[in-house]
Amino acid sequence: MAGVLLGVSLCATARHVSDVQAGTLSADIRRTGFGIPHIRANDERGLGYGIGYAYAQDNLCLLANEVVTVNGQRARYFGAEQATLEERNNLTSDVFFTWLNTPEAVTAFWKAQTPQMQQRLAGYAAGYNRYLQERGAKDRPMQCQGAWVRPITTDDLVKLTRRLLVEGGVGQFAEALAGATPPQPGVAVQSDVRAFEVATLKQQRFALDRGSNAVAVGSERSFNGRGMLLANPHFPWIGGMRFYQMHLTIPGQLDVMGAALPGLPVVNIGFNQHVAWTHTVDTSKHFTLYRLTLDPKDPTRYLLDGKSIPLQKTQVTVQVKGAEAHTQTVYSSQFGPVVQWPGKLDWNGQYAFSLRDANLGNDRVLQQWYAMNQARSLKDLQASVHRLQGIPWVNTLAADDQGQSLYMNLSVVPNVSAKKLEQCSDPRAGLQMIMLDGAHSACAWDIDPRAAQPGIFAAGQLPQLARRDYVQHSNDSAWMANPKAPLAGFSPVVSQDHIALGARSRFALQRLQDLDTQPITVADLQHMVLDNQVYLAGQVMPDLLKFCAQQTDAALKTLCTRLKDWDQKANLDSGLGLVHFFQVMEHLQQVPQVWRVAFDPDHPQTTPRGLLIEQPEVANALREAMLASMAQVSESGLKEGTRWGDIQVSGSTPMHGGPQELGIYNAMQSVPRADGKREVVSGSSYLQIVTFDDQGPKAESVLAFSLSSDPASPYFKDQTQAFSAKKLSPLPFTEQQIKADPQYQRQLIHE
């Protein structure tokens, strides 16, 4: 809304202000190009007020929908059989969130917050509620008409934060928690097979949907001797993990800009006067499973050090539209809730399985980003992470104006040493999920008095690396953050070394190596993401084309021509060769011994590579994959001359980038649509490149899915089109830059 709105006094309907002093609320919201809000206030409460109001202007319905979800009320309003945006059945989702966000857990989290954070959260709720009231029930966007849209409270914001915390742990096991029931003699377990298939896929996709790239460049390699940062988080384009851009200022106290997740009144990825930082999903484990040995007389009791202990029972009741309320019992051991996954984690007469999530004890997460937002140097930022240990399930990469770069794998990780793993885990379970023996209290997580929370590793025991050349990360372990200083020797729960790197990491390391002889510039970092090179094509294309040259089958010749003509990129104008390459490699990566040169831990940057086409098994698999790809392309109705931009879209906007499995740095996950196109659902989200000079930070960015989720908003797809055209825009940061912006508009709100 343009113009100045002064002096409209509204009652703040549903503010939870326990422990928070009421008083005048005011905020100054300036917007620049793409509608980016620059929110300024004199105190924490006013700042929260401005954030909540601006966020509601752009994403009223999105937040309202997420509030219903985290309150476990989806079945009540939309029916039991409907599903969430994440394809989770409403009833399952409600049972999970009612269990997670109990009044006791929410109150304890609130009480653990500093007075400043309480003020900011109270302000956020008041700001959102003010805008909701201004719009009125009739004037709301179509997507949020209905009784389920209501004023929010600070409790709702706490619940949203707790949902974020468990995303890397028990949040992935909602179906398994909601479906866990004790075995009954002669009664087969009934489970929704489809729901577990979807849940399995979601677990596998967790790092894909929330993957990320990051490069922090230090003085030795940057063009001006200062720090530089590339932030390229890959996050969902819809729902509760969709980033929002904002600039927050309290004069003399705070000046920070970047991107935040819905309902959070802090910047998660961004920069201030001196420091820029970003996050990438880490490979550390944030939960462990415990195998409980059951009392042979009663499957609801388990044996611990030889004693029979009853499982704790919690009744969870969920309201259901047009039906009776649904009540379910959630069982827990001292190691956490019992989870049951048919065929993987079966609750039978002998064993049951509990899940312990380290982030359920993390009430420091908001304070952590609050401290990072205020950091005055890299050292300062690092010290805050060491002190608070509030980062849930991501790495942190940062650079500052003094030319230092830093990598930290410092998140909340269960304190399970390699020795304890050896003594307490079943080696057959592997390291994908850590499974400990719940029959012995000696297998509980170790307590380190130096850690910010009982049962997690202390910060000093976790991987970190400060450099003057660079550090990088693309969702592998900490090992190769910089090959000149490998990070090795940690508990496998924290980080594994001497294992194969993903294709995106190899691409980044190669690109940084190629730039060895010259200073790294902003353009270099931009190209890393946006030239859309398919790294894997460079590793296997010579063998593919050699195989092609040996074929006489006409059907294969068409495919081979398309591969040959393809530019080995995932740009809008890249041809059908990309589609064939993707489909063929998807098949081949399932074939054992497919690589010409197998992975060699001494050469992690260059292996595996090549295809062993001389092997009959590989040649047959390759031929089958090619024929299947031709059939698939024909079925999809893709004609000669079709380009990637005709296939992958966001709404009607063509989208570059592609599957991360191919080593495309600009990773995009897209799903088939009814019209034969593919809709982007996650991938590059908030793209930010920050440098520093004597005047402070200089940042360029694009929010790939745009600021607003409301189709009627002018900010619904403006940045999406800019991203499609590969255009980043400078971010106005100083007062002078903000006021000089051609799109500048101002709104004062107070009550």
Please answer whether residues 75 and 147 qualify as being in contact, where contact means their C-beta atoms are separated by less than 8 angstroms.
Answer: no
Q: What's residue 128's pLDDT?
A: 98
Please answer whether residues 289 and 431 qualify as being in contact, where contact means their C-beta atoms are separated by less than 8 angstroms.
Answer: no
pLDDT in tens, 113-133: 999 999 999 999 999 999 999
How far is residue 734's CA from residue 699's CA, in Å, rounded to a whole number?
A: 11
How far is residue 152's CA from residue 614's CA, in Å, rounded to a whole number?
A: 64
Token code pair at residue 185: 């003699």
Residue 501 has pLDDT above 70, yes or no: yes
Question: What single-letter DSSP state applies at residue 456?
Answer: B
How far is residue 626's CA from residue 580's CA, in Å, rounded to a whole number?
A: 7
Query: How far is CA 471 from each of CA 368, 478, 492, rounded to the nearest angstrom?
Result: 22, 10, 21
How far is residue 3's CA from residue 621's CA, in Å, rounded to a whole number?
A: 64
Amino acid at 186: G
How far is residue 195's CA from residue 624's CA, in Å, rounded to a whole number?
A: 31
C-alpha triplet 384, 390, 395: angle, nearest 5°: 85
Q: What's residue 205's pLDDT?
A: 62
pLDDT in tens, 645-676: 999 999 999 999 999 999 999 999 999 999 99
pLDDT in tens, 167-220: 999 999 999 999 999 998 765 555 566 665 665 666 666 655 667 999 999 999
pLDDT in tens, 259-292: 999 999 999 999 999 999 999 999 999 999 999 9
Residue 308 has pLDDT above 60, yes or no: yes
Token code pair at residue 220: 């030795």
pLDDT in tens, 421-435: 999 997 777 788 899
Mean pLDDT of 230-246: 96
Q: What's residue 388's pLDDT?
A: 98
Token code pair at residue 608: 């595996």
Residue 489 has pLDDT above 60, yes or no: yes
Question: What single-letter DSSP state applies at residue 445?
Answer: P
Residue 18 has pLDDT above 70, yes or no: no
Closest CA to 171 of 227, 99, 263: 99
Amino acid at 365: V
Query: How far is CA 633 from each of CA 291, 371, 701, rounded to the nearest angstrom?
Result: 46, 51, 35
At 31, the pLDDT band (50, 70, 90 cuts) reads very high
**Is 354 marked active-site?**
no
- The dihedral sign for the CA sequence 479, 215, 467, 416: negative
Mean pLDDT of 741-747: 98
What are the E-state strand segments in 571-685?
595-597, 609-611, 648-650, 653-654, 668-672, 678-684
344 or 437: whose pLDDT is higher?
437
How far is residue 666's CA from residue 687's CA, in Å, rounded to a whole number?
A: 10
Q: Which of 9, 93, 191, 212 is catalytic?
A: 212
At 516, the pLDDT band (50, 70, 90 cuts) reads very high
Convert 278-337 into a string of H (helix), E (strand) and C (coil).
EEEECCCCCEEEEEEEEECCEEEEEEECCEEEECEEEEEEECCCCCCCEEEEEEEECCEE
At 5, the pLDDT band (50, 70, 90 cuts) reads very low
Mean pLDDT of 288-308: 97
At 85, the pLDDT band (50, 70, 90 cuts) reads confident
**Mean per-residue pLDDT of the chain:** 94
Cβ within 8 Å of residue 605, ≥6 positions away: 480, 483, 501, 506, 509, 510, 513
pLDDT-above-70 percentage for the chain: 94
pLDDT in tens, 381-400: 999 999 999 999 999 999 99
- Cα of 746 vs its chain's centroid, Å: 32
Mean pLDDT of 154-174: 96
